[in-house]
C-alpha cells in the first residue's frame, strides 16, 4: 500500500461521500471503503483500470477529468481526491476549480519537483530528472505542468484557495508543512498532499 | 385468452415450445385502453436458487424475442444473445437464473397484433392498442410475481432492451439490485424517429400490407418488411465497420453486370438480412414496437426531467456504450450517467472502443463481455452479503 494513500485515508472522516478523480485500479477507493466505510465513486480514463474497478465492485465512470467533471453537481461530494495527476492536465487551474466546485473539501497530491534529488539531477547532470516518483523521460512523460510544493502553496495563496493542511511524504516519513518550514520541506518531500477548499 | 389460430402463419409453430403466462390482472395502457387476460410468452435459463437471489431479467431489443440463448425452438437458430448468456458465458447460466419475456406487441407468443380480437373474431391488426415501453415493462412485472422473485440480482438489455430497463428502474425503483443498460437512450432522437418512420413507411408502401389486414389473407408484406429490416441493419453498423467488412467487394462475380442485381456484397448482405427477417417477424409488430420506441421519453414522465426519474434509486447501475454506435451514441448514454450522477445514484460507466457500431452488444466483443461479467459477478457477491445482513 502506497504511503500516500495511507496519509489520505487518515485525513478523511468515516461514512462520507468521496470522488476519486483518476482512481486507477481502485486501490485507494477499496482502502477508503474498507477502513472508513466511505461511499466512493471513481473517474478513470484507462479501460483496463475501469474494468478492474468494476470487477472489484467499485463504482467508476470512464472519462477524462479534463473534459468531464462538469457532470458532477456542485458540492455533491464531501471530499474530492486527485492523486498525482494535476500536473498532467492541459489546464490544471480549471480542473482544480472544478474539484473545489464539486467537493466540500479537496485533497490534491503532487510529485514534488522541488525534491532535492530532482534538483540535483538538473543542477549537476544537466538532464531532466528521472526518479521513482517521476519515472518517465522528457519525451514520453504525461506531465505537462510540473510544479513544486512551494509552487502549489503560492498558487493557492494567489487564487485565494484556502489551504487547510499540507503533508509532505518521503518514503515512510510524513511531516506537516507550514509557511515557516516550507523551504526545507520543499527540499525533502517527494510528494506533497494538500487539503484545500 | 385469445385464440392462437393464425398466430404463426409462416412456420409450423409448436406451442408446447413456448412458455406462456396468462396475465389476468388488468393493465391500463398509456393510450388509455385496458387489457387483461393476455398472454405473455417467456423463457428461462439456469436454475433459481433457494435464496432466490440469482435472478437476472433480460429485456430484448426491437427484433429480439424471449429466446436469449441456446437454440430458438421456433426458428431453430441460435438465441440472439448467445455471445453473452449461457453456461460459462459472461452471464453464466450455471450460476444465474436468466429470464426473458417477449414484449407485448411482439410476435413470439406474447399479446400482439396477430392475436384474435374476441369482439370480431378477427386478428387485431391496426385495432391492436398502441403500446409504449412503459406498457411493455409493466406487463413483465407480472412475470416476476409469477416466478416468485421479489428482487432481481440484475436486469439488463441493449438498445430497446436498455430503454425498457431504464423505464423498469424508474417505475420500480427497488425491484433490481443492479442494472446494466447497454447502448441505449433515455429518449428517441429526431434521427431515431426518422429511421423508424422509414421502416414503417416501407411496410405501409407494400400493397400486401393492406392497412394491416394482410393476416386475413394469410400473406405477409415481405418486400416492405425486408426493406424495413435493411434500414435497421444499416443503422446497426458503423461506417468504418461496413467499409472493412464489405468495401466495394463484388458478390461472387468478377465485374459489374450492368444490372440491378446484387453486384456488391453489401447489397447481397442487406437482401439476405431483409428476407431472412420476414420468415420470423410480423410486419405489424414492427409498426407497434417502433412506435413504442419513438414515444419513449423518460424525462417527459417526470416533472424535473431525467434526474427526477432516477430519484431515490437504490439500484446500482453500469451503463455501457460503444464508441462507433451512431444510433444510440456515447453522448446519449452519458446523458443517462449524468442524470444518475446528479440524482446521487450508484453508477458506473464504460465506453467500449470498437468499430462494430450499435450491433457490438450482440457480438463477441471481449472487452464488453469482460466488463459485463466483472460487474454481474461482483454484484452477486454484494447482493448475497446484503441479504445475509
Q: Which domain holds residue B339?
A: 15-189+298-388
d(CA B276, CA B218): 18
Residue keyed to cell 479534463? A66
d(CA B178, CA B154): 5
Residues of B identified as active-site: 159, 325, 358
Is B131 in the same domain as B208?
no
| Predicted structure pTM score | 0.93
Is B65 in the same domain as B135?
yes
- Whether B7 has a pLDDT exceeding 80, the answer reads no
Q: Give a yes or no: residue B2 inside a domain.
A: no
Is B235 in the same domain as B181?
no
Is B158 in the same domain as B58?
yes
| CATH number assigned to the domain comprising residue B236 | 1.10.1740.110
Contact residues, A window 13-52, toward B, CB-based 8 Å cutoff: 47, 50-51
Q: What is the DSSP letter of A124?
A: I
- Helix H, strand E, coil C: the string for A83-95 is ECCHHHCCCHHHH
* Class in CATH terms, A3-113+146-196: alpha beta
- Per-residue model confidence as pLDDT tens digits over B239-279: 999 999 999 999 999 999 999 999 999 999 999 999 999 99
Tell if the CB–CB gap between A54 and B342 is shorter than 8 Å: no
E strand map for chain B? 19-23, 27-28, 34-35, 38-45, 55-59, 85-86, 91-92, 97-101, 116-117, 122-123, 152-158, 176-182, 316-322, 346-352
Helix (H, G, I), strand (E, B), or coil: what is residue A160?
Answer: coil
Final residue of a domain: which of B262, B289, B316? B289
Is B61 in the same domain as B145?
yes
User: Which residues of A fall within a CB distance of 8 Å from B349?
Assistant: 60-63
Final residue of a domain: which of B289, B315, B347? B289
Is B155 in the same domain as B229?
no
Provide the number of structural domains found in chain B: 2
Q: Give a yes or no: residue B86 inside a domain.
A: yes
Q: What is the DSSP letter of A159?
A: T
Helix (H, G, I), strand (E, B), or coil: what is residue B177?
Answer: strand
Q: Give a yes or no: residue B9 inside a domain.
A: no
In this complex, the residue of A47, A56, A73 whose CB is nearest that of residue B378 is A56
Is B267 in the same domain as B122?
no
Cell numbers for B105: 406487441
Integer-rounded Cα radius of gyration of chain B: 21
Is B200 in the same domain as B160?
no
In this complex, the residue of A54, A71, A76 whose CB is nearest that of residue B374 is A54
Cα distance from A44 to chain B (closest Cα, Å)?
10
Is B342 in the same domain as B316?
yes
Domain range annotation of chain A: 3-113+146-196
Cβ atoms of B379 and A57 within 8 Å: the answer is: yes
Cβ atoms of A176 and A192 within 8 Å: the answer is: no
Q: Give a yes or no: residue B84 inside a domain.
A: yes
d(CA B239, CA B246): 11
Is B283 in the same domain as B381?
no
- Residue B169's nearest CA partner among B279, B57, B87, B281 is B57
Cβ atoms of B288 and B130 within 8 Å: the answer is: yes
d(CA B26, CA B36): 4
- Residue A62's nearest CA partner among A82, A41, A76 is A41
Is B339 in the same domain as B384?
yes
Nearest chain B residue (CA) to A69: B338
- Per-residue model confidence as pLDDT tens digits over B285-337: 999 999 999 999 999 999 878 999 999 899 999 999 999 999 999 999 999 99
User: Which residues of B fall within a CB distance of 8 Å from A55?
Assistant: 374-375, 377-378
Cβ burial, residue B211 (10 Å; 0-12/13-18/19+): exposed
Question: In this predicted structure, which of A174-178, B38-42, B342-346 has the lowest mean pLDDT?
Answer: B342-346
- What Å distances lie between residue B138 and A6, B98, B101, B317, B354, CA to CA? 48, 18, 12, 20, 34
Q: What is the DSSP letter of B2?
A: -
Is B277 in the same domain as B333?
no
Predicted confidence pLDDT, tens digits, chain A (197 residues): 689 999 999 999 999 999 999 999 999 999 999 999 999 999 999 999 999 999 999 999 999 999 999 989 999 999 999 999 999 999 999 999 999 999 999 999 999 999 999 999 999 999 999 988 889 999 999 999 999 999 999 999 999 999 999 999 999 999 999 999 999 999 999 999 999 98
Cβ burial, residue B14 (10 Å; 0-12/13-18/19+): exposed
Final residue of a domain: which of B289, B323, B343? B289
| CATH number assigned to the domain comprising residue B305 | 3.40.50.1820
Amino acid at each position: 500500500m502506497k504511503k500516500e494513500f495511507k496519509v489520505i485515508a487518515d485525513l478523511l472522516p468515516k461514512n462520507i461521500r468521496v470522488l476519486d478523480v483518476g482512481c486507477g485500479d481502485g486501490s485507494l477507493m477499496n482502502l477508503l471503503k474498507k477502513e472508513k466505510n466511505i461511499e466512493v465513486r471513481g473517474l478513470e480514463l484507462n479501460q483496463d483500470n475501469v474494468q478492474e474497478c468494476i470487477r472489484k465492485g467499485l463504482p467508476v465512470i470512464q472519462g477524462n477529468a479534463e473534459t468531464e467533471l462538469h457532470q458532477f453537481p456542485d458540492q455533491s461530494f464531501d471530499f474530492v481526491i486527485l492523486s498525482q495527476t494535476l500536473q498532467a492536465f492541459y489546464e490544471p487551474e480549471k480542473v482544480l476549480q472544478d474539484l473545489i466546485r464539486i467537493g466540500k473539501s479537496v485533497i490534491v497530491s503532487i510529485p514534488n519537483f522541488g525534491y532535492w534529488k530532482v534538483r540535483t539531477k538538473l543542477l549537476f547532470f544537466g538532464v531532466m530528472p528521472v526518479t521513482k516518483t517521476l519515472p518517465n523521460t522528457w519525451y514520453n512523460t504525461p506531465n505537462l505542468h510540473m510544479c513544486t510544493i512551494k509552487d502549489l502553496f503560492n498558487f493557492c495563496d494567489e487564487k485565494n484557495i484556502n489551504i487547510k493542511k499540507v503533508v509532505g511524504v518521503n518514503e515512510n516519513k510524513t511531516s506537516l508543512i507550514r509557511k515557516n518550514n516550507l523551504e526545507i520541506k520543499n527540499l525533502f518531500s517527494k510528494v506533497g498532499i494538500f487539503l484545500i477548499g | 385468452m385469445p385464440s392462437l389460430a393464425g398466430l404463426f402463419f409462416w412456420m409450423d409453430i409448436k406451442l408446447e415450445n413456448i412458455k406462456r403466462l396468462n396475465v389476468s390482472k388488468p393493465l391500463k395502457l398509456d393510450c388509455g385502453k385496458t387489457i387483461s387476460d393476455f398472454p405473455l410468452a417467456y423463457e428461462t435459463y439456469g436454475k433459481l436458487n433457494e435464496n432466490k437471489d440469482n435472478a437476472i431479467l433480460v429485456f430484448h431489443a426491437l427484433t429480439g424475442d424471449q429466446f436469449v440463448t441456446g437454440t430458438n425452438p421456433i426458428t431453430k437458430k441460435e438465441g440472439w444473445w448467445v455471445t453473452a448468456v449461457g453456461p460459462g458465458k459472461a452471464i453464466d447460466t450455471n450460476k444465474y437464473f436468466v429470464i426473458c419475456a417477449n414484449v407485448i406487441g411482439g410476435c413470439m407468443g406474447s399479446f400482439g397484433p396477430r392475436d384474435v380480437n374476441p369482439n370480431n373474431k378477427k386478428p387485431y391488426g391496426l385495432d391492436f392498442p398502441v403500446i409504449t415501453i412503459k406498457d411493455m415493462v409493466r406487463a413483465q412485472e407480472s412475470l416476476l410475481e409469477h416466478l416468485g422473485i421479489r428482487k432481481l440480482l440484475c436486469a439488463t438489455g441493449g438498445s430497446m432492451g436498455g430503454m425498457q430497463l431504464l423505464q423498469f428502474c424508474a417505475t420500480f425503483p427497488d425491484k433490481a439490485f443492479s442494472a446494466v443498460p447497454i447502448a441505449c437512450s433515455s429518449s428517441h432522437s429526431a434521427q431515431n424517429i426518422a429511421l423508424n418512420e422509414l421502416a414503417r413507411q416501407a411496410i405501409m408502401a407494400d400493397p400486401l400490407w393492406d392497412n394491416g389486414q394482410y393476416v386475413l389473407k394469410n400473406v405477409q408484406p415481405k418486400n416492405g418488411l425486408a426493406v424495413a429490416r435493411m434500414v435497421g441493419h444499416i443503422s446497426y453498423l458503423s461506417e468504418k465497420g461496413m467499409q472493412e467488412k464489405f468495401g466495394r467487394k463484388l458478390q461472387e462475380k468478377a465485374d459489374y453486370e450492368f444490372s440491378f442485381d446484387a453486384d456488391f456484397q453489401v447489397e447481397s448482405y442487406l437482401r439476405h438480412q431483409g428476407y431472412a427477417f420476414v420468415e420470423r417477424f410480423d410486419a405489424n409488430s414492427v409498426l407497434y414496437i417502433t412506435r413504442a420506441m419513438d414515444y419513449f421519453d423518460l424525462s417527459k414522465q417526470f416533472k424535473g426531467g431525467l434526474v427526477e426519474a432516477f430519484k431515490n434509486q437504490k439500484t446500482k447501475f453500469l451503463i455501457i456504450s460503444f464508441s462507433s454506435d451512431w444510433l444510440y451514441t456515447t453522448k446519449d448514454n452519458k446523458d443517462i450517467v449524468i442524470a444518475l450522477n446528479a440524482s446521487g445514484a450508484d453508477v458506473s460507466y464504460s465506453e467500449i472502443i470498437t468499430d462494430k457500431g450499435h450491433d457490438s452488444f450482440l457480438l463477441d466483443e471481449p472487452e464488453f463481455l469482460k466488463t459485463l461479467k466483472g460487474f454481474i459477478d461482483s454484484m452477486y457477491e454484494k447482493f448475497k452479503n446484503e441479504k445475509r445482513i
